Amino acid sequence: MARIPGIRTAVVAAAAALLARRALRRRVQASPLWPLPALDPPVSGRGRADTGARRLRVAERTEEAEGVVRLRLEGEDLPDWEPGAHLDLVLPSGAVRQYSLCGEPAEPGSYTIATRLIEDGRGGSREVHEHLHEGAVVEVRGPRNRFPLRDSPAYVFLAGGIGITPILPMVRQAERTGVPWRLVYAGRSRASMPFLAEVEKLAGAGADRVTVVAEDEDGRPDLAAVLAAAPPDAAVYCCGPEPLRDAVAALLPTVTGGLTLYTERFAPAAPAPAGGNAPFEVELRRTGRTVSVPADTSALRAIRAQALPDLPYSCERGFCGTCQQRVLAGEVDHRDDLLTDAERADSLLICVSRARGGNLVLDL
């Protein structure tokens, strides 16, 4: 008899829980959002041909130029890639860095990258130079292509220093497909310019297709003259230091014709506005959680800390695209140079971009 009150309590609690569940279901079904729309797969890393991590062995390491090492990484069943693609390398410290593929796409079983040692950089290039010797094993992700070679009736390629790495496979492809091209390759000195011999060999019979400008001998390249002489509908591909990209972007509007500029940017995203960042909230629709993003933290870090610790990311600087997510509601303050207008219409890079004066709902 002494157990009856306990049984009664349990029965009452179960009935109350059942009623609460039914009431909740009625409220959900009365919502204007019901039935919930079927969502496509999340867009994180959209455009990746293959996101799987794999471990590759450094099969060959060559001093390509002053301060530049070339690495040939071997592995099995490596995904194909196209000119402009890059690999994410997970370095021994855990840092992730992007390096353009510069070998032959058709070469099976290996990828080739090259890295210049940046003395005052963030440390990634130093790790590559100090740790990735022949026989070392390194984790890579990708390849991914954020700098694809678009179809065009003609190409003008402008490369500065290590910026030759994504350009080189593009030049080879243009040559293979018979599309007219011209390459201007600039660097501090000939000794510091990687792949110089191969570039000069590419000139082949048409020697004026390649212009090598070593600044210690020749001064700065005459970019205005190069662009003025380009076919009017050429695609201009530029990769190199920021001053080179800025100079080309500034010159382009002064050139008549329909030149289109494509650049690759491995540099920090736009800084915070003068008044600083504002805090906001992010609703994660799939997860059913809402995350607070303080003024001094990115949405990526807040979401990883408060809800999804395994959410993928890489550069945290708005240039690799790994953290791209679909926006279901809210206005975005885009702080990257990577996404196209079409991509910005429904997604953002959560490592740098924020809400503009409200909250966001993400497909996460």
Q: Is 351 helix (H, G, I), strand (E, B) or coil?
A: coil
- Minimum Å gap between C-beta 341 and ligand FES is 17
Q: 72 vs 141, which CB is nearer to ligand FES?
A: 141
* Assigned token pair, 91: 């370095």
Closest CA to 112 of 177, 193, 169, 66: 169
Q: At its nearest, how many Å lie between ligand FES and the CB of residue 310?
A: 14
**Which residue's CB is nearer to ligand FES, number 113 or number 158?**
113
CB of residue 53 to ligand FES, shortest distance in Å:
15
Contacts of 157 (CB under 8 A, 6+ apart): 167, 170, 171, 174, 181, 182, 183, 184, 236, 237, 238
Alpha carbons 16 and 10: distance in angstroms, whole number:
10
d(CA 185, CA 165): 11
| Nearer Cβ to ligand FES (115/353) | 353
Among residues 189, 198, 131, the alpha carbon closest in space to that of 161 is found at: 189
Which of 19/267 has CB closer to ligand FES?
A: 267
Cα 220 versus chain centre, distance: 29
Closest distance to ligand FES from the beta carbon of 187 (Å): 28
CB proximity list for 48: less than 8 A, separation 6 or greater: 142, 144
3-state DSSP percent of the chain in helix, strand and coil, to 5 = 30, 30, 45
Task: Tokens 């540099």: give the residue.
Answer: 267
| CA 249 vs CA 9, 224, 245: distances in Å | 74, 11, 6
Of residues 81 and 319, the one with the C-beta less far from ligand FES: 319
Can you tell me the distance from the alpha carbon of 45 to that of 41, in angstroms, rounded to the nearest whole number?
11
Report which residue type is found at 163.
Answer: G
Rank residues 143 and 321 by Cβ distance to ligand FES and give the closer one: 321
The Cα 311–Cα 322 span in angstroms is 10
Kindly tell me which of 100 and 192 has the beta carbon lying closer to ligand FES.
100
Please report, for residues 90, 145, 234, the alpha-carbon distance to residue 313 in angstroms, rounded to integers and kept in the order given.
12, 16, 35
The residue at minimum Cβ distance from ligand FES is 351
125 vs 298, beta carbon nearer ligand FES: 298
Indicate the angle between helix axes 196-203 and 164-177, nearest 10 degrees: 20
Longest dimension (CA), the chain: 104
Q: How far is the CB of 113 from ligand FES (least distance, A)?
A: 18
Which amino acid belongs to residue 173?
Answer: Q
CB of 357 to ligand FES, least distance (A): 22
Closer residue to ligand FES in complex, CB, 73/351: 351
Question: What is the nearest approach in angstroms of ligand FES to the Cβ of residue 146?
Answer: 10
* Interface contacts to ligand FES, rule CB under 6 A: 313-316, 318-323, 349, 351
Query: How near is the Cβ of 8 to ligand FES at its closest, in Å?
Result: 56
What is the nearest approach in angstroms of ligand FES to the Cβ of residue 277? 16
